[in-house]
Amino acid sequence: MSGHDQLVLCLCELTRLLWKLLLPLVILCALLLTVLVLLVLAVRYWLQSSRNARRARDGRPTVAFLHPYCNAGGGGERVLWCAIRALQNRYTDINIVVYTGDLGVTGQQILEGARRRFNIVLPRPPQFVFLRHRMLVEPNLFPHFTLLGQSIGSIFLGWEALTEFVPDLYIDSMGYAFTLPLFRYFGGCSVGSYVHYPTISTDMLSVVRERNPRFNNPDYVSNSLFLSAFKVVYYCLFALLYGMAGSCSDLIMVNSSWTLDHILSLWRAPNRTSVVYPPCDVSAFLDLPLEEEVDKKCHSIVSVGQFRPEKDHRLQIRAFKKVLDRRREGPGGRESLKLVLIGGCRNQQDEDRVLMLRGLCQELGVGDRVEFKLNIPFEELKRELAESTIGLHTMWNEHFGIGIVECMAAGKVILAHKSGGPKLDIVVPFEGGQTGFLADDEDSYAEAIDQILALPPASRLQIRRNARQSVARFSDQEFEICFLAAMEPLMGTLER
């Protein structure tokens, strides 16, 4: 037998062997798939039985919000409480549940915090379900592959929430898109989402592709061609998974035109997506006087925003340093300016960040002209805004910017980052008039501050008037109208 014949014979025997193994392999795969499907159906049946028993006991449907940091003092929390208030005012025959990870406080203390920080009082107290594993979504738990780690952690946190309480309608109000398929397919719930900021965006991809160092793209990555290429692939794969998870939502609300563009490109559900601007307490600031600042001895620059890295308080301090450097010592010069940083601290990491910012102020020699106001009550916030001249905001691609709207409603001259929501939705001309200023780096911020302070008081007053009139579209009342209109199709599916 020739070598060629032997080779053909061996290939034939190998083919027969593989064919004999194929059938058992197919049967095994089918068996495993059947077991998996039965397991999913069993879990779904168990969870729905729990919901049906609760419905029989309560006699009314339940709407649940996942908001693990509901006791924080940011714009996302204001959206949560205004959304709950709107639903309770419109639908008196529903229960409201809030999944939270704030274990150190009671439900009553959380509601008191909402009243003190946001001037919001709910018609009826909601039920709080306290989750024990909020640390699974903490970014410091995942020093590398943070987006993926937090998303996987959110699935486990969502599972804890679902097994603790199965609602009829589930709303993700904090951006944990990977919990949506969990509640939809396992819990059998209708699901909706209010997206403040896409977990990943094309802007983030462009930062990595261009090897641009930022807070979410450290120098050791941007300086390496291999790591940058790897991160681009990682981001693209994650964006695909994120889009698949988000597309499970029956209803999608986004907070700005910028967020809308990104969510449409990722989740690809235009018929289920609408813009619902977040509620800003515009009316609470309308009683602040709007007059010419004649002979004002000291100008205060106020920043309102949580002490998170993306808010870029370092840019504010460095720009302020440049402004002071151009001024002489004494009255009318350096002593006539101060920077006030107002914001909430969610955790120890935020408090450590404040300490680093204080250290930066001392290092730059501006410590005597910078004040920090942490977790202050609403009335103190109003006082600070009343005394200020400029409202400062420096976050790149801020999704919206409730603090910006509040400053404009208070009649301050706003200076925000030339990107995201501020550029597209907020600091835009009103009836042909200017409503504020935009900048994008230390020099342009410093120049804009100098320009604002150099304006005649009458010119500043006109900008302030335009700004105050323009933000009426971001009021609590407008939010409630748009939110309830968006929610109506889902609320109509609930059996009462």
Angle ∠(428,433,436) on CA atoms, nearest 5: 50
pLDDT of 111 reads 96
Q: For 168-178, how does the pLDDT look when each residue is reduced to its tens digit (9 = 90+)? A: 999 999 999 99
User: Is there a domain that residue 92 lies in?
Assistant: yes
pLDDT, tens digit (0-9, with 9 covering 90-100), for 331-351: 566 778 999 999 888 778 889
pLDDT value at position 223? 64
The predicted structure's pLDDT at residue 459: 93
Residues 263 and 286 in one domain: no
Pairing of strands 62-66, 95-100: parallel
The per-residue pLDDT for range 419-462, each reduced to its tens digit, is: 989 999 999 999 999 999 999 999 999 999 999 999 998 999 99
195 and 291: one domain?
no
- Asked whether the predicted pLDDT for residue 44 surpasses 90, the reply is no
Q: Model confidence at 4, in pLDDT bands (50, 70, 90)?
A: low
Residues 109 and 240 in one domain: yes
Q: Give a yes or no: residue 25 inside a domain.
A: no
What mean pLDDT do residues 304-318 have?
91
pLDDT confidence of residue 40: 82
Confidence label for 496 from pLDDT (cuts 50, 70 and 90): low
The DSSP-derived string for 379-392 is HHHHHHHHH-SEEE
Q: CA-CA distance, 60 to 62, in Å (whole number)?
A: 7
Query: What CATH number is given to the structural domain containing 62?
Result: 3.40.50.2000
- Is the pLDDT higher at 143 or at 66? 66
- 313 shares a domain with 454: yes
Same domain, 458 and 313: yes
Total tally of structural domains belonging to the chain:
2
- Angle ∠(28,29,32) on CA atoms, nearest 5: 85
Beta strand 190-195 pairing with 251-254 = parallel
| Position 416 in a domain | yes
Same domain, 274 and 296: no
Predicted TM-score of the model (pTM): 0.80
The strand order across the sheet containing 273-275 reads 127-130, 95-100, 62-66, 169-172, 190-195, 251-254, 273-275
Give the chain's largest Cα–Cα span. Answer: 110
Claim to verify: residue 121 and residue 224 sit in the same structural domain = yes
Asked whether residue 13 is domain-assigned, the answer is no
Cα–Cα distance measured from residue 380 to residue 390, given in angstroms and rounded to the nearest whole number: 17
| Residue 315 within a domain | yes
* Residues 357 and 391 both lie in one domain: yes
Average pLDDT over residues 79-102: 96
Which stretch of 59-68, 297-306, 476-485 has the lowest confidence by average pLDDT? 297-306
Residue 371 has pLDDT above 90, yes or no: yes
Q: Which residue has the tokens 């410093």?
A: 446
Residue-range definition of the domain harbouring residue 468: 282-473
Q: Are residues 489 and 447 part of one domain?
A: no
Position 308 pLDDT exceeds 80: yes
Report pLDDT for 278: 93
Distance between CA atoms of 127 and 98, rounded to whole angstroms?
6
Counting DSSP H helices and E strands in the chain, the numbers are 17, 13
Instruction: Judge whether 230 lies within some domain.
Output: yes
In a domain, 194, yes or no: yes
Does 49 fall in a domain?
no
Residues 286 and 377 in one domain: yes
User: Could you tell me if 288 and 275 lie in one domain?
Assistant: no
- Same domain assignment for residues 220 and 320: no
